[in-house]
Structure 1
Amino acid sequence: MRDLLQEYDPEVFDAILGEERRQQSELELIPSENYTYPEVLAALGTVFTNKYSEGYPGNRYYGGQTYTDVIERLACARARELFGADHANVQALSGAAMNQVVYYALLEPGDSILAMDLTHGGHLTHGSPVSHMARVFQFHRYKAGADGRIDFDEVLRIAEQVRPKMILCGHSSYPRELDYSGFRRVADAVGALTMADVSHVGGLIAGGQLANPLEHGFDVVTTTTHKSLRGPRGGLILSKGEFAKKIDKSVFPGLQGGPHMHTIAAIAVALKKAAEPEFREYAARTLSNAQVLAGRLLEHGAQLVSGGTDNHLMVVNTVGSYGIEGRDAQKLLEEVGLATNKQLIPDDSLSAQRTSGVRLGTPAPTTRGMGAGEMTAVADLFVRALQNKGDSDGAEAIRSEVRALCARFPAPGPLLPTSA
């Protein structure tokens, strides 16, 4: 198949080959990125991409659905068992779509949602003013306290003031474990629904290393299927049984047309992988690697938001630590082969295009097989790259060390070798 693509469209083929080489020779430290399984890639490139499958198993709008029904039922059953959910929907095309589905399923336009402030770790789809959802629903914000942790007395105060229909927790850059019982207490006090977007930590929950909001009575849980789950790019909605029909109807025909059955096949494969003992070990190593990485950065004097991490990610205040804006730090790190992303810090005075920090995490290095020793080395390289800004010889030396490290721990690649 690769020979066919190379012959027909060498421009696309060269870009794919270039990305494969980049992923092998550079170290991915962006906490929302990972290397999926070769088996997942194999499922993505199947004939299921040819099939329209509007509707649900046993009730499709087109014929020829024998095997699409098998795949979707399998994916849903595996999701329910893995997370302990009454109901699972695997059709959402992305994280943004899955969250929109839940809002439209359980709320009316104009209803209030209490969610985390974007600069304190929240996500764009949690009602950022630039998102379309902020034009449909009334979003209110809670923040982390001065110690970088969520203050539930303050969350309750805001909730009692605004009386939200839904309380939403979850994050894209909050480095601490979430207290789902605390959110549940606030929701019960004001009669609100509970929703957790665990896109970042879904794999760590599936691997039994972080708390599961469904075990704390949450009404709905959403997660993307890539990131720490190591699946394809898609969305998964888990809920109590009483919301199943509303959520399914909100996905189709409410928001989407035909599901991407090749992606659902790949999701099924990823969920099978996540149920294996090896995945539990992977999730545990991801967390222990994050502790080592954060600890070493702190030893170097780096300022970390909240002073550390309980999960797989951390946010470094690069302005406070090195006098470098996040955008510039991201560029400097990329030049030496360390992929991070610029990140807002709590109440950041800079814009989202500049930022005062960068975000980094351990899912991808852990997938490559790296451990504590490598995380210590990565922290040292990170600090050297930012402390020696403008030192071209020093940057090249760091780049060589990153290449050598990556060569020792190859990233999982496609099933077929490059020469096939």
Structure 2
Amino acid sequence: MSAQAIPVPNDFNKVLYAPLAEVDPEVAQIIEDETWRQFSGLELIASENLTSLATMEANGSILTNKYSEGLPGARYYGGNEHIDRLENLCRERALKAFDLDPKVWGVNVQPYSGSTANFATFTALLEPQDRIMGLGLPDGGHLTHGYYTAKKKISASSIYFQSFPYQVDPKTGYIDYERLATNANLFKPRMIICGGSAYPRDWDYAKLAATAKQHSALLMADIAHISGLVAAKVQNNPFEFCDVVTTTTHKTLRGPRAGMIFFRKDKDPEAEAKINAAVFPACQGGPHNNTIAGIATALRQVSSPEFKEYAAAVIKNSQALGAKLLSYGYKLQTEGSANHLVLWDLRPLGLTGSKIEKICDLAHITINKNAVAGDTSAMVPGGVRIGASALTSRSMGPADMEQVATFLHRAIEISQVLQKEAGSKLLKDFVAKATTGEGEGRKLIEQLAGDVQAFATRFPLPGVPDSSKIQRPAGH
């Protein structure tokens, strides 16, 4: 049969075939601007990374068109034979990436994020008002682990469950496992959660498992921040001790933004059905198949020898950054790092995380303000959190991280100048002086910004085949 020409689309459908730059130049420009920002700056937010071109291609694929509520082989829509293949492949790769026996462990790859993965896990394994214990937010924990204040229940986990946070030792910054065990004796939790968003050390899962066992409590690990390091076997293995493990798929795993839930099938024969039903239909709708494709592609990369080298390099870079900051006399929680991040305590300098975050933004360095142990208000955090994952993805090494630390040191010096020039410790006065004021501080910011851009643009940007072709947008 001879090939026939495909007819030209109707006028009202032509928009479906045109490229983004033609259909929506405003969004196309925003993407260009963001590409330049990532290329010309230093990404130091610990919860972010720079994923691969292949992962972005999968995540931006035609798979976004398909609805697939349910699970492989049991969908509520037809036409899912290829989506079933995709999700099964992603599940296989997830288990392989963490070296898990499929007879012992199962995984759900549908959660939209780490937060939804966590709440689906609580929904599956707990009853309303059951008791949970997670690391407190000011001590490096995560909102979804039961965080609340004296005035308000902040997260859904604190609204629907009774939460009692555990803490780090205020002198060392390390998890206080003895105090945790003592409080568990009083609180009698149904679940203990290990994992955090700003804890610069590894976890002693054996101690946590022993405490959980005393109270017949479930042990859940949220390894969202360190999952790539766990998969590469450069951090302790939570799967040896935990009943359930949740994670995001970006951060150190370097995939698209989503979540996964791993569950033991050998201890609880109903675990798989409980988790799957909690994800859908209890907590969310149809899975995002394009994102699952991106996860699958990223997980294939995670299983490679090169990724293991990358994960080891992340820790070396984090330690080099921390060591250089310590050499300037700064205070770091736990005096350094054993994973991908450092937590910098700015309180001895009379500065807040909000001010340093703002100055670094003006200098093309992206960090985030963060509470440190002993803070009384999460709204006025006393520190910043700094991660090495993204810059390691840009092929930076320990010597480069020392240069990054020098830039951060200059940002501190500039902030101290600006605070004096503002004549006030109020954030609004500080920001006004930094952005519109006349004085030495503003000039120093401009100098630092130029030096940072010159340094950052020496390194390739993942996901872009030829970074030399990235153009500075007009007005930047």
Query: Cα 1:3–1:51, aligned 2, differ >3 Å: closer, same or farther?
Result: closer
Matched, 1:337 2:370: no
Task: Work out the CA distance in 2 between the residues paired with 1:193 and 1:84.
Answer: 22
Match of 1:319 in 2: 347
Shift of residue 352, structure 1, vs aligned partner: 2.3
CA-to-partner distance for each residue in 1:177-217, whole Å, 9 max, x for gaps? Answer: 111111011111111100000000001111111111002x2
Give the conservation status (yes or no) of the 8 Å contact 1:325–1:355: yes
Match of 2:434 in 1: none
Query: Cα 1:3–1:379, aligned 2, differ >3 Å: closer, same or farther?
Result: farther
Match of 1:392 in 2: 442
Identity level (%): 42
CA-to-partner distance for each residue in 1:353-394, whole Å, 9 max, x for gaps? Answer: 321111101001100000011111111110111112332332
Partner SS state of residue 337, structure 2? coil
Task: Work out the CA distance in 2 between the residues paired with 1:290 and 1:245.
Answer: 40
Partner SS state of residue 408, structure 1? coil
Task: Work out the CA distance in 2 between the residues paired with 1:378 and 1:174.
Answer: 21
Shift of residue 52, structure 1, vs aligned partner: 0.5
Match of 2:323 in 1: 295
Give the conservation status (yes or no) of the 8 Å contact 1:229–1:274: yes
Matched, 1:224 2:243: no
Shift of residue 319, structure 1, vs aligned partner: 2.4
TM-score, normalised to structure 1's length? 0.96
Partner SS state of residue 221, structure 1? strand
CA-to-partner distance for each residue in 1:111-164, whole Å, 9 max, x for gaps? Answer: 000111110000011112211221110011110012111121111101110110
Task: Work out the CA distance in 2 between the residues paired with 1:60 and 1:142.
Answer: 41
Task: Work out the CA distance in 2 between the residues paired with 1:54 and 1:2.
Answer: 28
Partner SS state of residue 331, structure 2? coil
Match of 1:107 in 2: 126
Task: Work out the CA distance in 2 between the residues paired with 1:30 and 1:97.
Answer: 21
Task: Work out the CA distance in 2 between the residues paired with 1:3 and 1:120.
Answer: 50
Give the conservation status (yes or no) of the 8 Å contact 2:55–2:255: yes
Give the conservation status (yes or no) of the 8 Å contact 2:147–2:165: no
Superposed CA RMSD: 1.5
Matched, 1:139 2:163: yes
CA-to-partner distance for each residue in 1:66-96, whole Å, 9 max, x for gaps? Answer: 1100100000011112113410100001111
Task: Work out the CA distance in 2 between the residues paired with 1:55 and 1:188.
Answer: 34
Unaligned ranges ≥5, structure 2:
1-15, 149-153, 419-440, 472-476
Shift of residue 16, structure 1, vs aligned partner: 0.8
Max radius of gyration: which structure? 2
Match of 2:181 in 1: 156
Matched, 1:265 2:290: no
Give the conservation status (yes or no) of the 8 Å contact 1:204–1:228: yes
Task: Work out the CA distance in 1 between the residues paired with 2:310 and 2:122.
Answer: 33
Task: Work out the CA distance in 1 between the residues paired with 2:206 and 2:324.
Answer: 32
**Matching residue's letter, 1:107:** L
Shift of residue 171, structure 1, vs aligned partner: 0.2
**Matching residue's letter, 2:259:** G
Shift of residue 309, structure 1, vs aligned partner: 1.1
Partner SS state of residue 101, structure 1? helix
Please give the residue correspondences for 1:13-412 in structure 2 after superposition, counting only pairs within 5 Å.
Answer: 13-85=28-100, 86-129=105-148, 130-145=154-169, 146-215=171-240, 217-241=241-265, 242=268, 243-320=271-348, 322-349=349-376, 351-389=377-415, 390=418, 391-412=441-462
Give the conservation status (yes or no) of the 8 Å contact 1:42–1:415: no
Give the conservation status (yes or no) of the 8 Å contact 1:340–1:359: yes
Partner SS state of residue 45, structure 2? coil
Query: Cα 1:361–1:181, aligned 2, differ >3 Å: closer, same or farther?
Result: same
Matched, 1:5 2:33: no
Shift of residue 39, structure 1, vs aligned partner: 0.4
Task: Work out the CA distance in 2 between the residues paired with 1:144 and 1:150.
Answer: 4
**Matching residue's letter, 1:115:** G
Please say which of residues 362-371 and 394-403 is displaced more in the overlay.
394-403
Give the conservation status (yes or no) of the 8 Å contact 1:169–1:195: yes
Shift of residue 418, structure 1, vs aligned partner: 6.4
Shift of residue 415, structure 1, vs aligned partner: 5.6
**Matching residue's letter, 1:244:** E
Query: Cα 1:71–1:418, aligned 2, differ >3 Å: closer, same or farther?
Result: farther
Give the conservation status (yes or no) of the 8 Å contact 2:42–2:452: yes
Please say which of residues 352-361 and 49-58 is displaced more in the overlay.
352-361
Please say which of residues 40-49 and 401-410 is displaced more in the overlay.
401-410
Shift of residue 396, structure 1, vs aligned partner: 2.0
Partner SS state of residue 125, structure 1? helix
**Matching residue's letter, 2:362:** E
